[in-house]
Amino acid sequence: MIGILITWTLTLNTQAQTAPNNDHIKTIRIIVGYGPGGGYDGYARLIARHFGRFMPNTPNVIVQNMPGAGSLIAANYIYTSAPRDGSEFGTFARNVPLLSLFNTNKKITFDARQFTWLGSSSSFANDAYLLFVNKSSSFTSALSLTSNHKDELVLGGTSEGSPGHDVPLLLQKAFSFNLKLINGFPDGNSLFLAAERREIDGRMVDYSSVKSSKPDWLTKESSMHPILQFGRTTRHPDLPDVPTALELVQTERQKKLIELGQVIFRLSRCFAAPPKVPADKAAQLQDAFIKTHNDPQFLADAQKLNLDISPATSQEILSIINYVEHSPDDLRNELEALLTSGG
């Protein structure tokens, strides 16, 4: 699938003679930790249509879905098994680096600090992580989720390490929300369908994903409506009537816990290659990633798909990981306990 060609320069009698330039990859594969049709898949396929134009020799770029365990299968594969020649990189849940830092999940075989990070398509500047609930439920607002409510809100998620798992647990512990989380859904599409069928009361999902995959959820006629925003310090301008999690805080502990939990959203659509990719190949991938996200054709396609493009660089991703790793011990330990205990 991958053709590896080598470029070299010979010097003979002080005159350089260059052999044909063969040090170029013919095919690049993007691994997606979720099934087709979801938000992560949408970003990967958009990038695949443009990325090759900014790489040497204009390689073909294809997408392969590798769903399972909340994208941990894909993250493990990229770290341990993917070729380290620049021919493969992938995307997985934004919370995955947190689990790596905590190092309590036995399924994890990677160190997030050692990935060859390309960047993130979204720093969440124009996005929001929304709690959608069915209008027929008794939960009409974020405040109605408090523990004195007689009903239990049933949400769906994929697996530990995915935002759909970790964020509800964080909200439950921080605010005593009366909710139950059912894990094991294979991807975002199955969660959309389960919510519409009332198999669950709702789900948490990116605003950008809803706009691109389920725009009808944003209409007045929809059976679903958003009641809370996460990952933002202010209300999204499109959602002025939906409060943020920070608006609900009443104690300093709640505030710090929510702030730490939200910082990972700055790398919402992160892409990484395996560790130890040769420096020149890593630089090519990182440069192509940024050029892709500044390209007018790419941005026009993203706008048609309603995808938020507010890129972060590889260095910004590493700084976020470093921030979480070196946060105060008591706060970090509390967040670790919440996100690795299963609730």
CA 161 to chain centre: 10
pTM exceeding the 0.85 threshold for the entire prediction: no
Report how far residue 322's alpha carbon sits from residue 72's, in angstroms, rounded to the nearest whole number. 21
Task: Name residue 91's beta-bridge partners.
Answer: 32, 271
In DSSP notation, 53-114 reads: GGSTT--EEEEEE---GGGHHHHHHHHHTS-SSSSEEEE--TTHHHHHHHT--TT----GGG
Domains of the chain by start residue, with CATH: 9-124+264-340 (3.40.190.150), 129-263 (3.40.190.10)
pLDDT tens for the chain, residues 1 to 343: 333 333 333 233 333 333 334 467 899 999 999 999 888 999 999 999 999 999 999 999 999 999 988 889 999 999 999 999 999 999 998 878 777 787 667 788 999 999 999 999 998 888 999 999 999 988 889 888 876 667 889 999 887 667 788 889 889 888 988 889 998 888 888 999 999 999 999 999 999 889 988 999 999 999 999 999 999 999 999 999 999 999 999 999 899 889 988 888 888 899 999 999 999 999 999 999 999 999 999 999 999 988 889 999 999 999 999 988 888 888 888 777 766 554 3
CA dist 105 and 133 (Å) reads 30
Residues 6+ apart with CB under 8 A from 203: 131, 132, 155, 156, 157, 164, 191, 192, 194, 195
Cα–Cα distance, 310 to 238 (Å, whole number)? 17
Helix (H, G, I), strand (E, B) or coil at 312: strand
CB 139 within 8 A of CB 151: yes
Length reported for the chain: 343
Q: How far apart are CA 164 and CA 181, in angstroms?
A: 9
Sign of CA dihedral 91, 96, 100, 105: negative
